Structure formats: C-alpha cells, structure tokens
Structure 1
Amino acid sequence: MPVIINAHQLSRLIDRTIGHIADEFTTVLHGIRLEADATFLYAVASDRHTVAAARYRHHGLDGTEPLARTLPASCLTSLREWTGAQPGSDPVSITLAEGRVRFSSPHSELGVAVDDSLAFLNWRGILRGVIEQTDGTGGEFPVLDTQLLSRFAAADDMVRVRVAADQQAVLIVGEDFLGAQMPARTRRDGVGAETLTTLAQVHTFWQPTLPAIEAATMTDGIPAEPRRHRYEASESIAETVQDLLKHTMRTTHELFSTDISSQAFAAYATSGVMAWSAYRYLEALHRADPKLAATVVAETAGQLDDGALGEFAWDAAKNAGHDPQKWQDQFDKQLAGRKDSNPESVQGQAATTAV
C-alpha cells in the first residue's frame, strides 16, 4: 500500500507525540499509533490523561486498505535514530507485512515488529467530543497537572487553548495538531484539587493582594520592550519576518526614485531581492520545522551581531566544496577593471562602503 512521507516530517510526527505515550502497564497505549487515509498520515499517542494527534499530508497511498498499526515504545528510539540519519528530503515508504511495519528509504530499511491485532482508543471520537463540548454554566474551570501540560511543548511553537468547563478536557490546537488534556481531580501529593474552582473564588482569595484599583491589560501594564539599536538583530521569528518584509518594501520603493543606471539602483534591487528570498526561505522552514527555524534565526542573529560575515561566508563556502579564494581573485579583478575605466566612481564606492 505504501504510504510515502519524507524523513524529516516522519521524525517530526514522532517528536510531537512521543511524550504522550502511556507506561508499559497499559499495553494498548504503550506506543505511537500510525494511521493513514487518502490524504494524511497521522501519529497518535495517549497516556489516558492526554491525547495528541499530529498529521502530515503524505505524498501517496497505494491501494484502498488504510494503514493502522501501533508502533511499540521499545522501537521508537531506534526508529527516531533511523529517520534522523536519513537526509530530511528523502522519501520514506511505510508498508505493512504480517507482524511488521517496514520503513524504506533510498539508502536503507528498518523493520519494526508490531501486534497486528492490537486495538487503539477511539482518538477521533474523543477529540471530536472535546471540540464539541459546550461551555459550563457554573463558572468553574478545570485544574491542570503542569507535568502533563508540559508534554505539549513539542506540539508547535504556538498553540491555541480552549477551556470549556470544570471536569471537561482542555482542547489544544496547533498546526496539523490536535490535543486534549483531562482535568486533574487530585494533586500529586494526594490533596484534593477542588479549591479555587471559579473566578469569583479566585477574586475573593486574591482580594487582599489585588485591591480595588483600576485594572490594566497586559499590553498597558507591562513596560514595552526597549527599542533595539539598529545594528542589533532580532532572535524572534515574527520580528525577523517583519523586518525582511519592511526592508523588501522599502528598497523596492526606493527604486522608483533612483536613476536606473546608477550603482544605487543596482544596490537597492539586489538588497530587495535578497530580503524577499530570505523571507520566503524562512517562511518555508518555519512551516516545515518551527523549532529549527527558531534556532536558525537565533544563530543568525548572533552572527549578524558579531559582524564577521565575510569570515563566516568564507568558511561556509569551503565547507560546501567551493573555492572562496578563486571568488576573491575574481572580485579583485573586476574591481581593478572598474577602477581603470572610472576611477572616480570606484573611489566614491569605496568611500560609501567605508561610511
């Protein structure tokens, strides 16, 4: 039948759900459920207190029989190491055989022993119920176990949370991700978790600390972030995207008021093209792997603040198998040719660069 997905996305499906598997005493939930339909490959896990379902649009599903097997927890470390060793863009075919799930890439294969008859919870029905549950009328809201809540850290870099009522599961939504967490009824120390169940009770309890003063929103009540110096690069993806788009618009706008034959026109055009290209690449990387995108933005910000971009580019060129010295010789030759033909222009360019 095989289902085809690239190695990177298969790794990400595992990472987003592995924290939710149950312990070895709950056999049917002690692993990750892989299921596929005509459109998506799903990875699902649950420890009975949380449910996590991640999906990705696969590249093909041959045949009409849907894929549905539970990968035991004992194989997940090996499977994750195998997917991580494949080039991220390589296609991985997932096929079923009796008692096995086989993962095949262009370079290697991995077989995983599974129990074909092992059932799994009705995760679609559970998540559908959480989505459709109605708001409570008593004003109570659920208490959540923070250790369980932390298991959703790999779901996405940003998630939406819907709280309906006390004793009802909390819905957690990310990009191609649905999750739910059951409310806690007792604390881990055995003490009941029934205190402060309504906003009115919270208000009364905190009244001595929060007297009758004018309320403020977080936007108004928290001091604004200090303005960065113009040479400081942001480590935030949102700010980096904003800066790239603003730069693209600014430089392309400047083209209309610049002589097309001038060096400034070429500089504006090149700068705008590079900013737009960087935005598109960052957007694609963020969709594919938000955590990797955040890491790259932070590392790039550090390199930009360091300022040794020429050295970084030289090392990167050598590591990629290029000859940066040959490039430098070509640059020097071109600069010498422009200097011979128009010395004033080259002197002006050097002065501008120095400023």
Structure 2
Amino acid sequence: MSVTLNAHQFGRLLERTAGHIADEFIPALHGVRLEADDTFLYAIASDRYTLAVARYRHHGLDGEPFARTLPARALASLRRWAADQPGNTPVTVSLAENRLRFTAPQGEVGVDDGQEFFGWRGVLRGVIDQVPAEDGTTSPFPALDTRLLARWTDADHYLRLRVTADRQGALLVGEDFIGAQMPVRTRHDGFGTGLADDLDQVRTLWDGALAGAPAAAMPDSLPAARRTPHDAARTVPETAKGLLRQTLSSTHDLIEESSTSPTAVAAHASAGVTAWMAFRYL
C-alpha cells in the first residue's frame, strides 16, 4: 500500500492544510489525515470551524487504498525532511505495520499514525449541495471569524467563495483544493453585538458616508498585481535568500544528526550542497 509523488508536491500538501489542525484538546483532529485512492493522495485537516482538503495526482497506487492520520507532533520534523529533499525527488508514502513511512532516495522517516478521523467527505458534500432559502426575503449574509480566514493563506493565491445562508458553511475552492468555514453562530458577552444582521442595516449605518456616490466598479486604470505560480519565487533576491536559508538550515541539521543517523547526515549534506550550488549559480 503505497503512492509516489515528488518532494515539492508532498510538502505543498502539508503546507496547504497544516494551518487548520485543531489543538491538543481535540485529539481526533490534532493532525493531518493522509488518504490515498487510485488517483489522488489527499491531505485533510480540520479544527471543527474550518475544514481543508488538498490533493495531488500521484504516480500510481501500489496495493489497496489507505487512510491514516499523521499526528501533529510529527508534522514539523516531516515538513523539514520534505523541504530538505530536492523538489523533483520522488517520495513514496506507504503503510507498513500500522506505521506511515515516507521514503526518498536519501532517507526515510517512519511515523506512528494517530487518531481516527471523521467523515469529511460527507461534510463537504453537504456544503456543496446546500441551497439558499427559498423564501427570497433575505440575502446570504453570514458572520465569519477573521482569525479563521487567515488560515486560508497557504491554500492558494486565489480561492472561489460561495455562501448560501447565514447559518451554513462557506465553501472555498482552489486548484486541487476544497474547504469550508463555519459561520459564527452565537453572540455572547457582547461579542458581535455591533455587527449588522442584514444588508438593510448596512445601508443605514453607512448611508451618511456613501450618500451621493453612484454605484461603480473598481477603475480599470488601476494596475493589476502580478502573480506567479506558488512554486516560483517572485524575484532573484528572494530566491537567493531562500537558498541561503536552506544552506544554513541543512548545515545545522547536518551537525545535529552527525552522531545518530548516517542516512540523515547524507540527506542534509546533499540538500545543503545543492542549495549552495544554486545560490552560486545565481
């Protein structure tokens, strides 16, 4: 039971979902779920208020589909291990003796899997299939916690957003990514009491500031921001900075691992040398 993908895409799966992990007080959600079927490797994380799912089309499933939870305690070291591999390095994710194993040509990591996970597919199906209220008296106007909105930063540069009702989850969709955010359902201790409940209240509250201004779109003369793919640096200095950081990080790890694992030493040395060569090339 194994799948193979490159190190860059494996790291991206973890990066896009790690921010949605629940804290240690919810053990069943304190980690990232990895699931593999015949086509994709999925990474899933949730803190009950947000749910994020990223996927990548792998290079083939060897054996039966599998699903295991990667505990949060192992996530930092695994992300560092993936970052130390050259981006095109094949990484095999396998399940053996109830342990998740991550294997690359220059090293291997084994992790005991964590808690059982909830039925995330059904939750997202419910968010996708939900429809607005049929009475047509109100427009969808849910209150969203902005502290949770920040968790979508690593998902993609652009996400599509769909809302259907005040008390239904908002749907967020990107490239090979889907997620949901639950609305704020209650107000307590004065929190949120100043929030407008509907668009008519918004118009009333802001009428003085906006009165007399005709409705208009954003001016076409404003320049659009240049966006590059998430796996490409924006500038040469930014790339150089990242390569130097990788060189220092790998050198530190090389010293730390020098007395424990020859395989890890070789992996850190190779990653550091590769980063330094690329920096010198620039």
Return the TM-score normalized by structure 2.
0.79
Matches within 5 A, 1:143-154: 143-154=143-154
The unaligned stretches of length 5 or more in structure 2 are 240-276
Please report how far the alpha carbon of residue 88 of structure 1 lies from its aligned counterpart in structure 2 after TM superposition: 1.0
Return the TM-score normalized by structure 1.
0.63
The unaligned stretches of length 5 or more in structure 1 are 226-233, 239-285, 301-315, 322-355
What is the distance in 2 between the residues matched to 1:293 and 1:189?
46
Amino acid at match of 1:56: Y
Q: Deviations over 1:160-179 (max 9, x none)?
A: 11111101111111100001
CA shift in 2, pair 1:11/1:317, >3 Å: closer
Conservation of the 8 A alpha-carbon contact between 2:140 and 2:164: no
Conservation of the 8 A alpha-carbon contact between 1:237 and 1:294: no
What is the distance in 2 between the residues matched to 1:299 and 1:83?
20
Which residue of structure 1 aligns with residue 252 of structure 2? Answer: none
Please report how far the alpha carbon of residue 293 of structure 1 lies from its aligned counterpart in structure 2 after TM superposition: 2.2
Which residue of structure 1 aligns with residue 254 of structure 2? Answer: none
Conservation of the 8 A alpha-carbon contact between 1:185 and 1:192: no
Secondary structure of the corresponding residue to residue 204 of structure 2: helix
Secondary structure of the corresponding residue to residue 42 of structure 1: strand
Confirm whether residue 237 of structure 1 aligns to residue 198 of structure 2.
no
User: Whose radius of gyration is greater, 1 or 2?
Assistant: 1
Confirm whether residue 176 of structure 1 aligns to residue 176 of structure 2.
yes
What is the distance in 2 between the residues matched to 1:120 and 1:28?
6
Runs of 4+ in 1 over 4 A off after TM superposition: 186-190, 297-300
CA shift in 2, pair 1:298/1:217, >3 Å: farther
What is the distance in 1 between the residues matched to 2:75 and 2:117?
17
Which residue of structure 2 aligns with residue 130 of structure 1? Answer: 127
Q: Which has the higher strand share?
A: 2
Conservation of the 8 A alpha-carbon contact between 2:127 and 2:180: yes
Q: Which has the higher helix share?
A: 1
Percent identical among aligned pairs is: 55
Q: Deviations over 1:241-271 (max 9, x none)?
A: xxxxxxxxxxxxxxxxxxxxxxxxxxxxxxx
Which residue of structure 2 aligns with residue 88 of structure 1? Answer: 87
What is the distance in 2 between the residues matched to 1:298 and 1:172?
33
Conservation of the 8 A alpha-carbon contact between 2:172 and 2:180: yes
Amino acid at match of 1:203: R
The alignment yields a C-alpha RMSD, in angstroms, of 2.7
Aligned residue-pair number: 243
What is the distance in 1 between the residues matched to 2:71 and 2:83?
18
Please report how far the alpha carbon of residue 319 of structure 1 lies from its aligned counterpart in structure 2 after TM superposition: 3.1
